[in-house]
Each structure stands twice: as structure tokens, then as C-alpha cells.
Chain A
Amino acid sequence: MTTGAVGQAYPRLEGREKVTGAARYAVEYPVDGVTYGWAVPAAVVRGRITRVDAAPALALPGVLSVVHHGNAPRLAPGPEPDLWLLQEPAVHYRGQLIAVVVATSLEAAREGARLVRIDYDAGPHSTVLTADHPGLYRPDQVNPSYPTDTAEGDFDAGYAAAPVRMDATYRTPAYHNNPMEPHATTAQWRDGRLLVHDSNQGAAPVQATLAELFELPRESVRVITKHVGGGFGGKGYAKAAVVLAALAARQVDRPVRLALTRQQVFGPVGYRTPTIQRVRLAADTDGRLTAICHDAISQTSTLREFAEQTAVYTRSMYAAPHRRTTHRLVRLDVPTPFWMRAPGECPGAYALESAMDELATVVGIDPVELRIRNDPAVDPELGRPFTSRNLVACLRDGARRFGWAERDPTPRARRDGRWLVGTGVAGASYPARSRAAAATATARRDGGFLVRIDATDIGTGARTALWQVAADALGVPPERVEVQIGDSDLPPAGVAGGSMGTASWSWAVIRACEALRAKLRDTPGGGPSDGEVTAEVSTADEVRDQPALPRYAYGAHFAEVRVDADTGEVRVNRLLGVFAAGRVVNPTTARSQLIGGMTMGLSMALHEEGVLDERYGDWVNHDLATYHITGCADVERIEAHWLDERDGELNPAGVKGIGEIGIVGTAAAITNAVHHATGVRIRDLPVRLDKLIGLSGLA
């Protein structure tokens, strides 16, 4: 790091292209002879398709084919039963995509999809998560590979013996990732090779999945993912759109464009599982925790086990000698849940950070102070020191910026006209991990440099960050560097997920640039005299050999809310987050990630909720007019700050990842503030006016 592009607030490299509409997304690439696919959802929850009558659809001018389990090209049964699409008559959940109509126009495909007649044999179904569901079981592990349950000391004895106890159950509903761009693909087969332009969070894993499903060598599949209109985890792996488009394109032997409808994004591609979480805390009268227990229940489908790591957050967050965490799961007749921004940590933190607030009230200690008092010196379960842990610094800095010291802890003590005003705080953490990646760096004859890596920019600014990192690693001004990403033909790298993107990709980029510089030093004349010089690296060994240490980013969230005493309406006056997330590569894009995460946390706290109709077995509010996501008018004042944190145990760029930490503690900070404002503790999200109405006695 010499010239210092890292740390500068560069605008996104592709920003102009995007705002002028020139940037092309997956279904916008011009393709000769392209056709359009429209997916058909199952109209029953559980059962079998007994008959598909395609004739009415095929009679419509423009309709080329109705692809379904009776005629679709065969797929190899892979590890992802969700993607074994159009292969069997079984229906596992309502809305499962069971056919594709292909036509020469989008309109004909859509109308054709409506005209396909499908008969079913339907059976009884179970779609509602309950704490006493007879199907509750203990999975072998939770995502990605954590132990299901953990215990240290003796929770029951510790809890029983403590002078102060807190026991509460929190519920979160199904949440649905809704990037602006739905899952969308243009697929073309050429000479037995498959080319897809696809909206996803990682081209290489999609390539691998397609190769497996279609039984092709990987080289025969190319996935291009240049621009992605958001993902939030929901495009983490290959999803229905890309598989259906490839199947349909093979069937009609023409290129096919297929985008899921907004309704189809609510289910078939995943969602955040609802949770039921019981948290028990015990403490001495000084608020020092003696026992912590977090029992989490969530759901999965009958197709595949998806075990969200809801209680894992509690394993490393606060110190206590007696501790236990458990996860239980139910297989329901629902689509398989999937990742949504900070899967596990986000709902888990909502429960634990709410419980901490409740405990603070019980013991009469300030909730910031309570967290500081219980900050562990070493990882409570691993017993090893954290590579860096700045939760306390975040809390202190946040409290200072927020003006926390003036706070009267009494609930419902502040009023501003008809509004009851309150403030709340929550801690946050998110693992700082890295994955192996490969990259190449090339010195061009004209003095420029080219860096190639199959990273993905899902709108975060990842392309720009890597460009800055590469410039510094090469020791040249960034203007001389070109970065190519988003193509499975490039050196392979992992998905944009788990807040690992910049950490993992910059590691490979830096090593490639270093290798190139070494190569150039050994080249007579120090440059590419008669052609280009390229260095290629993989970080596989380095990442594998990294010692297993507790590495986390931390954050402190502060919120001020007001609640209308008559109507129960909740508004957030102010959100403030302070984060310790290693080195910040680009303040502009970092701030955007952090306040974006915080806004999504606000949305989780107050607005979003998948409303299930048990009889139909699906979410009835499956569009953006009825599934409310926080809008600009709901965000009044929002600030993200970060500490200057240097941690030498992470990766060469020293970054921890900032994509997810912003959402983790937000919901709890807001609900804690709602309690402070009103004296009412809402333990099932979202907090809506009907849960608070009538505080004034007027209503």
C-alpha cells in the first residue's frame, strides 16, 4: 500500500453507466432470435401433478413450447433438490415452478402460462411454524457448518442460582429479499455449450451447478454476471430462473430470456425463515451475566434441510460462565428458506440484544454499560483472544455521538406533543471470514494494468474497491488499472456473500499484483518489452493455512423513535451506527452498505412481514404494494461511522467486510427504543401500529 487509493471516496466506476441506463442487466443483452420464458407456479401446496394440458397455450400465436416434467430435458439429480426443476410430478410447496411457457414475445409467454391447464392430486399440508410443532427435530449442524447445540458450564444450575433472571420469547416473521432486479437469465446453447447472462452473486458457483445439472464439463458452461440489481443473499447460488431458462432454451433450441415475476421472488428462490427464539439471561445484581441460554426454532422445507444459525450470534457475544445454545427445525410444506442479509446473526441479534435491554431494565443498569460490563476478554466458547474486538469502543463512541449520557432511563418519560419519544441501543457482530480466490494481474505494453477475477458486484461497489486495492498493490495511480469481474471465464472466486467478498477477492488481487511486480522486477528493463506479462495466483493455500481465530466485525446501534400516543404509529427520528470493521477501502461505498443495512434493519423492525395464509400455504402479500419495505420518508436521519481499526490477522487488505454488520443490531435498537418510549415491549416483529394503538387512552 503505497500510493493510497485505498481509503479514498471514489464514485462507483460503473455509476454513470447505471444511472444513464447504459449498463446491461441479465435480460437486456441483445441476442438474435431470442425467445421469452414465463414460469408457471403450482396451485397446490403438496401433491402430484396428474395432468398437464398444454394445448390451449400452444394454440396461442407465438407460443413455441410448454416445458414441464413430462417433456423437459433431463437433469442430473444434484445436491440441490430445489433446482431439480421440471423433473418430477411432485409438488412440494405452493408456488413451486412446475412449467415454463416459451414464446416469441413476452406477452404471449405470459398469456400462455395462464392458459396451461394443470390437474393435481393434493394432500394435506403443514405450513405454519409453531413452538410445539410435532415435526420439530435437531439438525446435525447449522449453517454453514456450526454445531447445532453448544453448552459450557451448567446453564440450568447457573440460571436457578442467580439473583436476577430474564426469560422471554421473541418471534420474527418470514422476510423476503426483494432486490429491484428479480432473478433473471438469458440462456443460449451453442454447439453443446451453455452461455448464460444471469443475475446472481457469484458466476463460478452458478457455472458449477449448471455443469452438474446438465452433466457438462465446467468449461462448457459460461456465466456472465456483469451487473446485478441487488441480491441481499437471495442470489447467493444458482436459483430457479437460470435453470428454467437453460432447460427451456435447450427444449426450443433458441435463446431464452426468463425473469421471475415479483410474486415468484416470494418463495421459490428463498426467504428468511421465521423464527421463535427463547432467550434466558441470569446475572448478579451488578448486571454481570452468569448464565445465557438461547433456544432457536426455525423452518425448512421437505426438499432440503436449511438450518439457519440463529443462536450462533449468542455464542461469542457476551461473557457468562454458564451458557447454552440450541437449534431446532421443522420441515414444512414451504419453499426452502435461504440466505438474507446476515442470515442467523440478524434475527439472533434481535432476540439477544432485546433480551439484554430487558435485563438492563430488570437490574437497573444502563444498557450501554451492561454490554460493556459483559464484554468478554476471550471468545467465550473457543477460549481464545479475538483478533480484534472493538464492541466497547463502538458503544462508547456511539454513545458520545448520540448524546446517550443525557438519557433518562425511565420508560415513557419523554413526550413531544402527541409523540412519545424514546431511545435504544443494541450491539452487533458479524464474522470476518475469507474464502480462497484466484486472480491474474497483467502488465500491458502501454503502461496500463489489467486485473482479472471472477468477483461479483451486486451493486455494492466491489468493482471499484478492487480497482483501488489493485492500484495500491501495483503502486500506480488507479487510472492505469482496469479490473474485469463477473464472468466465469475469469479466475475463479467465491460469491459476494457472508461479507467475504472484498476480504477474499482483494487478497487474491493483492497477491497477483505482488507476483506481477516480482515478475516485472526480474524482467530485463522492468517492463513488458515485447508483449504482456501476466502473473496468476490462488490464495487457496494461504487461506487454508490461516490459523482458526475468532475474527469478527462489531457495531453499536443507537435509535431514537417516536410513537404516536393515539394511533400507535412508529417513526424513527434517528439511527446511528458505529462500526469496527477493519480497514475501510472506500468511504462512499462503505457508507452506502452500512446505512443500507441499517435501513433494511429498520424495515425488518417496523415494516416487512410475509403474511401467510395457512389454507393456501403461501404469503398473500407477495408484491411490493402489500409487502412493505421501508421507503425514503421513513428514514429521517441516519448516520454511519467507523473506527480506524487495524487487525493484522485478517487478510492483506485488512478488511472485515461491511455488507451485513449494518443490519445486525438495528431492529433491536429500534424495538428497545420503542419500549423506552412507551413502556410496551413488543416481542414479535414487525412492530406495527395495531400492536401499540391506544397508549393515550384516547383510541
Chain B
Amino acid sequence: MRPFRYHRPAGVAEAVAVLAAEPQAAYLAGGTNLVDLMKLGVQRPDLLVDVTRLPLDAVEELPGGGLRIGATVRNSDLAAHPVVRRDYPVLARALLAAASGQLRNLATTGGNLLQRTRCVYFQDTGKACNKREPGSGCAARHGQNRDLAVLDWSDLCVATHPSDLAVALAALDAVVEVHEPDGPRDVPLAALHRSPGEHPERETTLARGALITAVRLPHLPAARRSAYLKVRDRASFAFAVGSVAAVLDLDGDVVRDVRLAYGAVAHRPWRAYRAEEELRGRPFSPQLAARAADAELAEARPLRHNGFKLPLTRAITVRALTELAEGTPAP
């Protein structure tokens, strides 16, 4: 492991200033992703700026409805928060479907959103990876890519974003509050992560040194009827091979509003706008849900080993929406 310094900033502004001045510094939150990657030599910061003592660990109810979640709120605490459980079940379920109890006790909201891909080549410094080492090639493009993207990938990178939380937040139209060297700014969650394009090493739209300070959930009464469905290769403690976050608002049997986001299909949490469009204003049926998923996936380009993600995503879209429509979301 590269020798590094450790700094505990006194406040948000100082933290951001330190990051701006130190090109090889990184924020340290729960460390459950960063420290692993440092051990593997994938990330090699020379300074860790520990954000966990900053006053960013509160969950507040906002005056007009909605919730502000501090960036250092631990995943376990957020999942257990009574308002989250009542008003945004999709969020609680997504959190609880992730990682393990021990990891969730450490993992933070901000760290979760900025965790790196689980592409196995990214994690092995002995293999080509444009994201880790721009210009070195993408070993996954023609390698073992069962777990990787079917949508919006580029020839330079076919990785997926691994977070479950981010998928739920994408469906909820969450807004990320960040503090950049130029000052604070709001970034819609759906605009936080980038497509890989020509620069897979750039994963977010944030400025260098940006600190996530909070995530804001809008007032969304429909979210009380929401679900997160995750499919994985074993019953617990595994990243998604497919996931869907869904909010469904019915007027009789007509879809008044719907929010749908997919995990494990792209370089960013995938808000399924086309599917939503297909669903909105029509009487709900499982067939309609299937058509909506097909519309969303029409432009998918599966890789050698992951064609199954299309029927899988379709199946879980239908199930999640149907169960919401019937009022029986499975735990």
C-alpha cells in the first residue's frame, strides 16, 4: 500500500479546499470500497481526508415534505429510519439488499454513490483497464463480461455501476447536494454519473474535489407504493445481476405516474424514462409492463456473456410493477 497521510478536516469548506490543493488526495468515508482498492493498488491516494466527523450525519424531514439525508449517514441507519421505511420503502429495501450487515454499518450515503465498479479487470492491476489506466485497453469488452453493461457502453468501457442505493435514488428523483471548490450546487441524481464514452476514467459530472454533503428526496407521496427487486447469484451478500426500483401511482387501473430505474445494466443507475412513457396514462397490465421494458431495452447491446440480462430485466420489471399494482410487493 502506498504510504499516505491522514487528515481530519474541521468543516466542509476546509475539506474541499484541501482536496482542491492536493491533486492526489481522496475523501475517506466508511472506507469499505476505497480501502479495499488501496490495498489492491487500484487507487493510490497520498492523503486521506476523513469526512466521517463532519456534521453530515443527520436525516431531516424537510418543511414541504421530503427528506434530506446527510452524506455520512450510514446505510444501516438510513434503512432503519422510520420515515424512510414509511415514505420511501424502495430506498430501505435497496439498502438492505446490499452488501452485508457489517458493511452497511460502515458504508455511508456519499460513499455508496461514489463506489467504483466491480468489474473484475478494474480490480486487478495486472490487467488492461481504461478506467483504471486510461489508454491501456478494456479487458472486459471481449473478456468475461457476464456481469457488465448491456446499455450505453462504449468500446472503451463496458462496466456497470454497482450501487443498489443509487438505483432507488434515481427512481425517486433524488437531488445530490455537493460542495465544489466553486461553491455548493445541486445535481440531480440521474445526472451525477456519466456514460463511459471516450473517458471511462471520469465517472461523475462533479468537479475535482467535490464533496457530497447530502442527498435530498423530494416529497413524493406515490413512493409509499414502491419496491426494489434485486436478483443476484446467491441469496445474500452479492451484487445485483439485475435490479429494478419502481414507484407506481395508479388511478383506478390507469397509470397516473410511474418511476422506474434499473441496476446492473449500465455505467450509471439507469432511469427508464422510455418505459415510464410507455406506461403513463395506460391501464396497467403485466403485458403493458413487458412492453414498457422492451421499449426501454430496445437499444440494448448485450455483450458475449450477458444477453440474459435483457429477459431478466424484463421479468423483474413486470414482477415489480405487477406486485405494486396488486398491492402485494414481496419483501
Q: Do A and B come from one complex?
A: yes
Which residues of chain A have a CB within 8 Å of any CB of chain B? 41, 43, 107, 110-111, 114, 263, 418, 566-569, 571, 606-607, 611, 613, 615-616, 620-623, 625-626, 628, 630-634, 688-690, 693-694, 696, 698-699
Q: Are A693 and B144 in contact (CB under 8 A)?
A: no
Answer yes or no: B26 CB below 8 A from chain A CBs.
Answer: no
Other A-B pairs beyond A628-B238, A633-B235, 19, CB < 8 Å = A107-B3, A111-B1, A418-B319, A566-B318, A567-B312, A569-B231, A613-B127, A613-B144, A620-B124, A625-B118, A632-B236, A633-B236, A634-B235, A689-B233, A693-B308, A693-B311, A693-B312, A698-B286, A699-B312
CB contacts (< 8 Å) of B123 on chain A: these are: 623
Q: Are B144 and A620 in contact (CB under 8 A)?
A: yes
Expressed in whole angstroms, the Cα–Cα distance for A569 and B231 within the complex equals 8
Q: Are B308 and A690 in contact (CB under 8 A)?
A: yes
Interface size class of B (residues with CB under 8 A): 35 or more
- Most A CB contacts (10 A, CB to CB) among B3, B235, B236 go to B235
Answer yes or no: B82 CB below 8 A from chain A CBs.
Answer: no
Expressed in whole angstroms, the Cα–Cα distance for A260 and B1 within the complex equals 16
CB-contact partner of A631 in B127, B143, B236, under 8 A: B236
CB contacts (< 8 Å) of A634 on chain B: these are: 234-236
Answer yes or no: B121 CB below 8 A from chain A CBs.
Answer: yes
Residue-wise, chain B 231-275 has the 8 Å CB interface mask toward A (1 for contact) of: 101111111011000000000000000000000000000000000
CB contacts (< 8 Å) of A568 on chain B: these are: 312
Answer yes or no: B139 CB below 8 A from chain A CBs.
Answer: yes
List CB contacts (< 8 Å) of B114-133 with chain A: 118, 120-121, 123-127
Q: Are A620 and B235 in contact (CB under 8 A)?
A: no
Answer yes or no: B5 CB below 8 A from chain A CBs.
Answer: no
Q: Are B308 and A628 in contact (CB under 8 A)?
A: no
Expressed in whole angstroms, the Cα–Cα distance for A566 and B315 within the complex equals 6
Expressed in whole angstroms, the Cα–Cα distance for A607 and B241 within the complex equals 14
CB-contact partner of B234 in A613, A631, A694, under 8 A: A631
Q: Are B144 and A611 in contact (CB under 8 A)?
A: yes
> Within the complex, what minimum Cβ distance (angstroms) separates B306 from chain A?
8
14 pairs of residues in contact across A and B, judged by CB atoms under 8 Å: A107-B3, A111-B3, A571-B235, A607-B233, A613-B144, A625-B118, A626-B120, A628-B238, A630-B234, A631-B234, A633-B236, A690-B312, A698-B286, A698-B318
> Within the complex, what minimum Cβ distance (angstroms) separates A434 from chain B?
38
CB contacts (< 8 Å) of B169 on chain A: these are: none
List CB contacts (< 8 Å) of B203-238 with chain A: 231, 233-238
Answer yes or no: B94 CB below 8 A from chain A CBs.
Answer: no
CB contacts (< 8 Å) of A615 on chain B: these are: 139, 143
CB-contact partner of B312 in A263, A613, A623, A689, under 8 A: A689
CB-contact partner of A607 in B39, B234, B242, B286, under 8 A: B234
Answer yes or no: B93 CB below 8 A from chain A CBs.
Answer: no
Q: Are A698 and B146 in contact (CB under 8 A)?
A: no
CB-contact partner of B120 in A621, A688, A693, under 8 A: A621
With A43-B126, A693-B311, A699-B314 in contact, do A613 and B237 touch (Cβ < 8 Å)?
no
Q: Are B315 and A111 in contact (CB under 8 A)?
A: no
Residue of B nearest to A686 (CB): B233
Q: Are B118 and A616 in contact (CB under 8 A)?
A: no
With A567-B312, A620-B121, A689-B241 in contact, do A107 and B319 touch (Cβ < 8 Å)?
no
Expressed in whole angstroms, the Cα–Cα distance for A621 and B146 within the complex equals 12
CB contacts (< 8 Å) of B3 on chain A: these are: 107, 111
Residue of B nearest to A571 (CB): B235
Residue of B nearest to A690 (CB): B308
CB contacts (< 8 Å) of A607 on chain B: these are: 233-234
Q: Are B139 and A616 in contact (CB under 8 A)?
A: yes
Expressed in whole angstroms, the Cα–Cα distance for A488 and B190 within the complex equals 63
CB contacts (< 8 Å) of B192 on chain A: these are: none
With A613-B143, A621-B120, A698-B290 in contact, do A628 and B311 touch (Cβ < 8 Å)?
no
List CB contacts (< 8 Å) of B269-291 with chain A: 286, 290
Expressed in whole angstroms, the Cα–Cα distance for A67 and B41 within the complex equals 21
- Most B CB contacts (10 A, CB to CB) among A114, A615, A696, A699 go to A699
Expressed in whole angstroms, the Cα–Cα distance for A432 and B177 within the complex equals 66
Residue of A nearest to B124 (CB): A620
> Within the complex, what minimum Cβ distance (angstroms) separates B149 from chain A?
16
> Within the complex, what minimum Cβ distance (angstroms) separates B277 from chain A?
22
Residue-wise, chain B 82-112 has the 8 Å CB interface mask toward A (1 for contact) of: 0000000000000000000000000000000
Expressed in whole angstroms, the Cα–Cα distance for A633 and B235 within the complex equals 6
Residue-wise, chain B 7-50 has the 8 Å CB interface mask toward A (1 for contact) of: 00000000000000000000000000000000101000000000
CB contacts (< 8 Å) of B1 on chain A: these are: 107, 110-111
Answer yes or no: B316 CB below 8 A from chain A CBs.
Answer: yes
CB contacts (< 8 Å) of B312 on chain A: these are: 567-568, 689-690, 693, 699
